[in-house]
């Protein structure tokens, strides 16, 4: 089995598990209530090398691979999905630079992202509909040594806290938002860059989600990632890879809810015995365990296979694309089902904010929506089987 964990992966898993239990879980409910971005968690992850797990040594990463990265995301998300998402967004924003950026761009931006000293966001979605880039309107026009960027992006994770934002914009209107699109690195201090108000969300509430506005935003031409017209292919490669990480986040949320519900069911006595001994509850927990283990095996397999793709513009094979979409879809559907059942296992307490499972149920939902909704994943799977 290619996805059996080696000693290094087991050590990393154990280290992150302990860190998540001791330092991430205790503040999870408070972070959710306050909806404050977790800067202390950014520092913690940076100091422990989490952002660099799957990055090359030359930029400060540890080259431990994609499975190791997913193990870390899973453990963090068991404790708090709003912390598990931090390394996911760092990857989403920076992989375009790693895969297709010039040497100068890589050297300028990647080291501080890998260390966690800087944060980056990825701005793709527009109001016309995130699932279909064809209607995207954000435009970049070349003027001498600069591009002038105009347009709006919505629902951008980390937009209000990021130092840099990778932006998808149309550079050739005649070719349209697929073939005529390009990617740029925009720094928050570039003139004409603004962020809108913070969105109030159902879950993932400690994560910062905002609109991004570009008004004659002036970008040096060197900040074009790759070549003009490569924006769509770079973005698709990146999303095919990063959605395996979203699957790991979903798996973590499911596993965290299951662990809590299982322990609760062993302690809670109703009709003279622990509720886990009542088949209605015991079978529910058994089904949760089955689904989580299946999601884990699919997720680890996907991480191993997708992790083999070179860190450049080499396209994923059909098998890798399928595994990425399947693992994200399956794990996120499992997360939604398992967290809902965990609330049921706790009865009335499951509905109360003092207990962690109601938050987990709210957090689980986003994993079915972002980085390509599960309907879009099923379309991808349908077209590749």
Ligand X SMILES: Cc1cc2nc3c(=O)[nH]c(=O)nc-3n(C[C@H](O)[C@H](O)[C@H](O)COP(=O)(O)OP(=O)(O)OC[C@H]3O[C@@H](n4cnc5c(N)ncnc54)[C@H](O)[C@@H]3O)c2cc1C
Closest Cα to residue 265, out of 370, 366, 344? 344
Q: Minimum Å distance from CB 136 to ligand X?
A: 10
Cβ distance to ligand X smaller for residue 212 or 292? 212
* Residue range at the interface with ligand X (CB under 6 A); choices 232-240, 307-315, 346-354, 364-372: 364-372
Cβ distance to ligand X smaller for residue 201 or 262? 201
DSSP for 94-134 reads: HHHHHHH--HHHHHHHHHHHHHTSS-EEEE---TT-TT-GG
The correct pick among 51, 122, 136, 147 for binding ligand X (CB under 6 A) is 122
**Residue 370 is a binding residue for ligand X (CB under 6 A):** yes
Query: Is the four-CA dihedral 216, 222, 228, 234 of positive or negative sign?
Result: negative
**Residue 369 is a binding residue for ligand X (CB under 6 A):** yes
Q: Minimum Å distance from CB 375 to ligand X?
A: 3
**Residue 209 is a binding residue for ligand X (CB under 6 A):** yes
Q: Minimum Å distance from CB 308 to ligand X?
A: 26
Using CB under 6 A, count the residues that bind ligand X: 22
Cβ distance to ligand X smaller for residue 140 or 261? 140
DSSP state of 161: T
Cβ atoms of 158 and 118 within 8 Å: the answer is no
3-state secondary structure labels for all residues of 38-97: CHHHHHHHHHCCHHHCCCCHHHCCCCCCHHHHHHHHHHHHHHCHHHHHHHHHHHHHHHHH
Pairing between β-strand 273-274 and β-strand 269-270 as defined by DSSP bridges = antiparallel
Cβ distance to ligand X smaller for residue 131 or 384? 131
Residues 140-169 that bind ligand X (CB under 6 A): 155-157
Is 33 one of the annotated active-site residues of the chain? no
For tokens 């937009």, name the residue. 159
**Residue 201 is a binding residue for ligand X (CB under 6 A):** yes
Helix pair 357-366, 231-267: axis angle to 10 deg: 160
Cα radius of gyration rounded to whole Å, the chain = 21
**Residue 186 is a binding residue for ligand X (CB under 6 A):** no
Cβ distance to ligand X smaller for residue 93 or 356? 93
Q: What is the SS3 assignment for 194? A: strand
Residue 334 is inside which H or E element, if any?
helix 318-345
Q: Report the alpha-carbon distance of residue 353 to residue 359 in Å, rounded.
A: 7
**Residue 198 is a binding residue for ligand X (CB under 6 A):** no
Q: Minimum Å distance from CB 203 to ligand X?
A: 8
**Residue 123 is a binding residue for ligand X (CB under 6 A):** yes
Closest Cα to residue 199, out of 353, 358, 366? 366
First to last CA, the chain: 23
* Residue range at the interface with ligand X (CB under 6 A); choices 45-53, 74-82, 179-187, 374-382: 374-382
Q: Both tokens of residue 132?
A: 């279909």
**Residue 124 is a binding residue for ligand X (CB under 6 A):** yes
The correct pick among 15, 29, 289, 376 for binding ligand X (CB under 6 A) is 376
The single residue of 126, 199, 211, 371 carrying the catalytic annotation is 371
Q: Across the strands, what pairs with 212?
A: 153, 195
Q: Minimum Å distance from CB 17 to ligand X?
A: 26
Cβ distance to ligand X smaller for residue 71 or 380? 380
Cβ distance to ligand X smaller for residue 97 or 121? 121
Q: Name the residues annotated as catalytic.
A: 371
Residues that bind ligand X (CB under 6 A): 121-125, 129-131, 155-157, 201, 204, 209, 366, 369-371, 373, 375-376, 379
């Amino acid at each position: 089995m290619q996805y059996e964990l080696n000693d290094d992966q087991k050590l990393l898993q154990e280290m992150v598990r302990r860190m998540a239990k001791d330092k991430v879980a205790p503040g999870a409910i408070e972070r959710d209530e306050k909806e404050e971005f977790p800067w202390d968690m950014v520092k913690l992850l940076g100091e422990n090398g989490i952002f660099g797990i799957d990055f090359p040594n030359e930029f400060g990463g540890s080259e431990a691979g994609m499975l190791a990265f997913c193990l870390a995301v899973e453990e963090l998300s068991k404790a708090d999905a709003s912390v598990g998402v931090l390394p996911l967004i760092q990857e989403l924003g920076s992989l375009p630079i790693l895969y297709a950026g010039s040497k100068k761009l890589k050297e300028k931006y990647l080291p501080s992202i890998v260390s966690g000293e800087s944060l980056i966001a990825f701005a793709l979605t527009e109001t016309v509909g995130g699932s279909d880039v064809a209607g995207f309107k954000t435009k970049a026009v070349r003027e001498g040594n600069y591009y002038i960027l105009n347009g709006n992006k919505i629902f951008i994770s980390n937009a209000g806290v990021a130092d840099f934002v990778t932006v998808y914009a149309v550079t050739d209107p005649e070719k349209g938002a697929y073939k005529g699109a390009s990617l740029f690195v925009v720094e928050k201090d570039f003139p004409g860059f603004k962020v809108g108000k913070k969105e109030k969300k159902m879950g993932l509430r400690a994560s910062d989600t905002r609109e991004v506005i570009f008004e004659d935003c002036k970008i040096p031409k060197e900040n074009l990632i790759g070549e003009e017209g490569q924006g769509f292919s770079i973005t698709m490669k990146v999303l095919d890879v990063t959605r395996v990480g979203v699957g790991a986040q979903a798996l973590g949320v499911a596993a965290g809810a299951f662990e809590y519900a299982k322990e609760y069911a062993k302690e809670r006595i109703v009709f003279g015995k622990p509720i886990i001994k009542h088949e209605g509850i015991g079978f529910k927990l058994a089904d949760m365990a089955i689904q989580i283990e299946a999601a884990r095996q699919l997720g680890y397999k996907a991480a191993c296979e997708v992790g083999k793709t070179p860190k450049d513009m080499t396209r994923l094979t059909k098998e890798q694309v399928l595994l990425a979409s399947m693992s994200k879809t399956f794990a996120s559907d499992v997360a939604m089902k398992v967290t809902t059942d965990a609330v049921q296992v706790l009865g009335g307490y499951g509905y109360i904010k003092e207990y962690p499972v109601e938050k987990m149920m709210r957090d689980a939902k986003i994993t079915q929506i972002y980085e390509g909704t599960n309907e879009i994943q099923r379309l991808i799977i349908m077209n590749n089987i």
